[in-house]
Amino acid sequence: MATLQASKHQPQFIPVNNYNPVKNKHLVLFFLIVSLLSGVTIFTACKRINAFTDIGSGLIPAVDNINTFDTVLNVEAYNGIFGDNEDSIRMLSSEIHFLGQITNDPFFGKTDARIYLQLKPTLFPHAFARADSLTIDSVVLVMDYKGAYGDSTIPQTINVYEIANIPTNVFRADSNYLVKSTNFVNGDLLGSRTIIPQNLKDSVKAYRLPLNLPPDREMP
């Protein structure tokens, strides 16, 4: 250890731990070269990751590791042809059914949903008290709705038809049918009503549609 003091005499080198200016100059130059090579290696390695990677170069745009990016993928979907024992979905009588038309959906295009059902009591056969003295004066279709999908401001027209009673129009209550089946022929129009889903804001979510049945019409 050495102590430096101010002096009025000519300054001179004070040896500190055998200090050699020429030797240390070479050491400094050596460390500068090593540091420069290390910096070039690190810079090249970082650039290799960001710029020289070919995997996925056509799918992933350039990223600066600071800003994120988003993208849009175009997907084309097609409907398949199902066999007699296959369908896209299985629906039971207790499940939610869809009814109505969507013509301007940007994702799914046009959709036409219909419901085929049978008018019957909850329990069958139903025992009426004094059945011989009862007459039916009106029939009302009550639908319990859950909500709406799509543009709820577009009017929807609900038409209720009787399935035509013709030999080629076989629709049996004890048989199962595919959801995509549309080979049933409509008969007489029993009722029609135009609604706007947005306006259905009653506390009881049920929609009533009166049906026009002739007095002599037998109930199915």
The full 3-state SS of 1-66, as one line of letters, equals CCCCCCCCCCCCCCCCCCCCHHHHHHHHHHHHHHHHHHHHHHHHHHHHHHHCCCCCCCCCCCCCCC
Helix or strand holding residue 103 (H, E): strand 100-105
Burial (CB count within 10 angstroms: exposed 0-12, middle 13-18, buried 19+), residue 88: exposed
**What's the pLDDT score for residue 218?**
60
At residue 58, the pLDDT reads 60
Q: For residue 208, what is the enclosing H or E element?
A: strand 206-211
- C-alpha span between 137 and 118 (Å, rounded): 19
CB 62 within 8 A of CB 68: no
Extract long-range pairs of 137-144: CB within 8 Å, 24+ residues apart: 138/210, 139/210, 139/211, 139/213, 140/208, 140/209, 140/210, 140/211, 141/191, 141/208, 141/209, 141/210, 141/211, 142/206, 142/207, 142/208, 142/209, 143/99, 143/206, 143/207, 143/209, 144/205, 144/206
* Per-residue pLDDT, 5: 37
Q: Which residue type, as a one-letter code, is found at position 52?
A: F
The bridge status of strand 100-105 relative to strand 109-113 is antiparallel
Q: Rounded to an integer, what distance in angstroms lies between the CA atom of residue 48 and that of residue 151?
A: 51
Question: Quick one: which of 67, 76, 64, 98 has its CA closest to 179?
Answer: 98
Global pTM value: 0.51
The model's pLDDT over 110-164, given as tens digits with 9 standing for 90+, comes to 888 888 877 777 776 777 777 777 777 788 888 888 888 878 888 888 898 888 8
**Segments of the chain scoring below 70 in pLDDT:** 1-69, 78-94, 124, 173, 179-182, 214-220
Cα–Cα distance, 156 to 198 (Å, whole number) = 11
Q: How many distinct helices (H) and strands (E) make up the chain?
A: 1, 6
pLDDT at 83 (0 to 100): 59
